Structures are given as C-alpha cells and as structure tokens.
Amino acid sequence: MTDLNYKRRKWLIIGLIHFVGIIFLVKLFFLQVLDHDYKLFAQNNVLRYITQYPARGLIYDRSGELLVYNEAAYDLLVVPNQVQSIDTSKFCKLLNIPKEEYKKRFERAKKHSPYKSSIFLEQLSKEEYGFVEEQLYKFPGFYIQSRTLRKYPKPIAAHILGFVGEVDKKEIAGDSYYKQGDYIGKSGIEKSYESLLRGDKGMKVVMVDVFNREMGSYQEGKFDTTAHAGKNLFLTIDANLQAYGEKLMHNKKGSIVAIEPSTGEVLAMVSSPSYDPNLLIGRVRTKNFRKLSKDTLEPLYNRPTQAQYPPGSTFKLANALIGLQEKVLYPGTKYGCDGVVSVPIKCSHNHYAPLELPGAIEQSCNPYFWRVFRSIIEQPKFDSIQQGYILWKNYLGSLNIGKGFNSDIGNQRSGNLPEASYFNRYYGRSGWRAITIRSFAIGQGEVELTPLQLANLTAILANRGFYITPHLVKAVDEQSNEFKRYAEKHQTAIDSINFTTVIEGMRQVYEGTHGSARWYKPDSISIAGKTGTSENPHGQDHSVFIAFAPVDNPKIAVATVVETSGFGSTWAAPISTLMVEKYLKGEVKKSWFEEKMINANLLNGSEKKD
C-alpha cells in the first residue's frame, strides 16, 4: 500500500513539473515571438528614442506682419552609461569647450540619470551641427536632437511677446507634458498662450549600431508618433505703431499704452527702456539676461503693467464724472480760484475765474476739483465720512481703478486705492474728513494707477461709459473673426449723458485758447485730451497725458507717462498726439515737436542730445 501511495505521489509531482514547464514554454513563446513590446524592451540597448519637438506657433501682428518665427537648432544629448573611453581632448575641441566644462556637464548628466538621455550641450547652430554631426560616431553615448529657437525679425515689443526658457522643477511637477530640457514660455504672450503655442510632441524610434550611428527607423516607424505644430497667434498690436512708440520713447523712462476703445484691443504697449528680444535666445540668453537684470535702467521691468504712478490731473476727469452722477456738480457749476495763493489747495497757475466745468478741465484748476471732491464725499445724506468715501471708491471701482484685468496681459499690478479702514487706522473713525485726503481731488497722495489702467480710463471716456477688457490676442490660426474671449461690455456706474461735458472740456485742452495741448493739435483730427503732472517723491515729477480720437468716433485711446520729465504738456502730450496721428493717418507730417521727442535724452533727468 505504501509503495502504491509513493508511486501516485511520484507521478503527481512529475505531472506538476511538466505542467509548469509547459506554462513557461508558452509564456516564453508569447514574449519572444508574439509580444513585440517585450522585444522592444529587450532591444533597448540598440534603440534610440528621439523626441520630436513640434514647431512652436508663429506670432503675427493685427495685420499679419510676422513678429516671431522659428529657426532650426540642435541639442547634443548624452546617455552617460553608454559613454565608453573616448578621447575627451578631441571631443572638447570638436565642441569648442574646455575640459572643466566637459566634466561639469557630464557629471550633471550622470546625476540626472546614468541610463537616460539628457541635454549635454544645448542649442547648436546649423553650422555647428553640420561640423559636429559628421564626427559624432567616434563618441558613443552622444547624439543630436533637433528643435527650434525663437527669432524676431524686428527688435520690438519685447515685453509683450515675452521669452522662452528651459523648464524648472516646479514647472515639470505641475505639468506632465514637460521633461527636463524642454522649453516653456516664461513671460508675456509666450507664457499666457503656452498651451496653444507649444503644440504636441512626437517620438521617433531608431536603430543604432555599436558606433553610435543611426541605422534607420525601427520596424518601419511602427512605434513612431507624429509631432503637431503649435497654433499661430494674431495679436491686436499694430507693429508699425509699436515701433513708432518705441522710437519716440528712446532714451526716456516710461510707457505708452494705446487701446482701440470699441474692442479693448491693445494697439501698442511700449515700455522704455526696452531690449532686443533676440538677446534672450540661444546659449547667450543666460549671459544677456544677467546683464539686463543688473542694468540700473531696468529694461526688463514692464512699466505699462507694473509701474504705479499718481495719475495727477488726469484723475480730475474721474472726480468730475462722479460729481455729475451724484448731482453735486453740473456743467454750469462755477467755482472761483485765487491762483497760486489758493487754499487749501493752490492752483498751478493764475487764470481767469470763476470757471464752469469745461473751462476748469481746460485750465486744470486745482481748487475747482477740490470743491468737487469735497461735495462728493461730504454730502448731507451721509452719516459718516466713511459712507461718502466708500461711495466714491465704488464709483472708481466701476471704472476698474484699483483692480487688475482678468486678461491675457500678464504680470499686472492693481494700482492703489486705499480702503476707508486705512484712514481709520491712522486718524480714527471720526478723525478725518475730505480735507484730510484733499490730494485725491487732483490725483495725488496714495492714489496710484498703472499706465494700462490709465489707458482703459481713457477708453471709457471715449466710449461714454463702458469698456471691454484690454487684451493682446485678436485671433488664433487663420481665423479672421475677433477673439470672442474678450467681447463683453463692462458698463460703469456713470450714465453716458454725464460724459458729454467732460469730453467737451477735454476737447478744449486741444482747441481752447488756454488749452495745454493746443500747440500740438494736428490738422483734420479732432482730439480730446488731458494733461497731468504726477508728483514723484524721488525726484522731478512725471509727465502724464491721456487722449482719444476722433472725438465723435474714437478709434484710439492713448495714455503716456514720461518719468522724471516735468509737466504733462511738455513731453507726454506731444508723444500721445504723435501716436494718434501716426495711427489715424499712417504717417506724421514732419514737425518741430516730433524731432524733439525722438532726439531728446531724458534718462539723466534733464534733456540732452544723443
């Protein structure tokens, strides 16, 4: 009986062994013959996976003029564990780099991964690529991968366009699309529309021999994927107007923002000093970026969206609108003025008085607008100064003052418009009144606007009470229709009828006998404008001016700030006027003030010639 049990167990064990063997044979047959994925995995040491980078989308201006295109470049990649004993001296000579640089880059690649490829030397030119590629078979573990670099046919609009740079760890962690060595939009349009511009990467699998030479596509491209180019963008910017604005602002600090009032499309956004965007591409980018960052003139600083200034007398227009809406001011309301000896706010000059509202705007009378401001926030219907201040502040909020724009314009600051609690903290709830904050009547004190906000206020005036969010992209790809993302009209809290008198006063700034811009009015263009002088605690005042034209059918609204240059009528007014004429007429008739604006050097706080 025992022998019988033993024999049964014996055959059972033998049967199990054969059964397991058959399973292994079937599995091996499946893996080695039927399953190509395994075969692909097993041959990793002779296959190379090359990322196919898509062409980044092109960028055009509103008329289809090319602003940004792509140029071929090549990265040298390395797989550290595939690098055998190579002649480093010859390799360094081939790449024109010192041995210390080779060691540093190779160690960095090993630290990334000994088994995976990473960039050893980025952005070789076409000429460098041709020279290196034919010698590369001598250096196993290194290979070339093609990609593109951004190029700029015109050295303009650097702050608008932005720049592209290598992804950092945070950006890689935030989006699985990116791998080490990829590029991403770092600022401007390149950043705001990264997901459209970047396209979709592809992959190519090629066979490589022992000499590091490509032997052709693996399995006739069965495992390859195609890269898809990014979308092309058509900006709202007028390239000619942008270039002209940068020319006018050469050797000056400040900005110009021009908007098409009916659409919110930004026609020009000049930040000065600026830089050639071609400086921040290729292998020279790091060196140039460091140099630009240390420049005391701050050419990387985007003044239209980040600089904040007291708006000066341009702010009187907002106070006038609120006064008219609250019916504490009427077109015929008259106030006297004692000129430069007026109290509690003196006037900037002596002039005839009393004035009605249009004349007060033309003369920019400080005492007039002090009385307007006081009549707004100290109305008898209010139980406290806080109520009046909050009402005034809410009106300004409807003009988007003290707020940023939800827009494709990046890196915006919101300006400054203090809460009532700010003054409560300093003076106590019952310790302040209109006279305490009287500087707000004339756009000074804590009130600050960015040039973009100032331009939008000008567009609101041109539109008689509404604005469309300022934006920079008009269309995507070949679409000719407007970019529907920005089409909503934002109505302000000011009735359209109240704009009539204010605009008449702005017209007199150009056409009145005492208008501060009367010297600059071009023929056959009706313009409404307002000068401003923005107090600067760090030096000479800033010159400020806003304007729109034509008055009855506005096509352009402009805000200009020229830092540390004095009165608004001296610099900002002529520059704004020239921008209007250039856009509406296509050219500017040679005039004394155009040449003066172009040739003036105000960087040292005083006018100099180049």
> At 253, is the secondary structure helix, strand, or coil?
coil
Q: Are 552 and 504 in contact (CB under 8 A)?
A: no
Placement of tokens 């025992």 in the chain: 2
Domains of the chain: 72-148 (3.90.1310.10), 239-609 (3.40.710.10)
Q: Give the amino acid at 54.
A: P
pLDDT, tens digit (0-9, with 9 covering 90-100), for 148-203: 889 999 999 999 999 998 899 999 999 999 988 889 999 999 999 999 999 999 98
pLDDT of residue 285: 85
- Which tokens hold the place of 219? 């399995």
Contact predicate 381/338, CB 8 Å? no
Crossing angle (nearest 10°) for helices 451-463 and 499-511: 110
Say how far apart CA 95 and CA 87 lie, in whole Å. 13
Tokens of 409: 């314009």
Q: Give me the residues paired with residue 74 across strands.
A: 124, 146
* Series of mean pLDDT values for 10-residue runs along the chain (610 residues): 60 73 70 52 62 92 96 89 87 91 92 85 84 88 87 96 92 90 92 94 81 72 87 97 98 98 98 95 87 95 97 98 98 95 93 95 97 98 96 98 94 95 95 96 96 98 98 83 77 98 98 93 94 89 97 97 93 97 90 90 59
> Alpha-carbon torsion 499, 501, 504, 505, what sign?
negative
- Residue 555 has what pLDDT? 98
Q: What is the pTM of this model?
A: 0.87
User: What pLDDT is recorded for position 4?
Assistant: 56
Instruction: Provide the 8-state DSSP code for 82.
Output: G
- Cα–Cα distances (Å) from 265 to 253, 308, 408, 472, 580, in that order, read 24, 22, 11, 6, 15
Whether the ω angle into residue 304 lies within 30 degrees of 0, i.e. cis, is no
What is the dihedral angle through the alpha carbons of 489, 492, 494, 500, rounded to the nearest 10 degrees? -40
Task: State pLDDT tens for residues 375-393.
Answer: 999 999 999 999 999 999 9
Q: What is the pLDDT of residue 10?
A: 67
pLDDT tens figures, 518-566: 999 998 899 999 999 998 888 899 999 999 999 999 999 999 999 999 9
- First-to-last alpha carbon distance for the chain, in angstroms, is 118
Contact status, residue 569 vs residue 597, Cβ threshold 8 Å: no
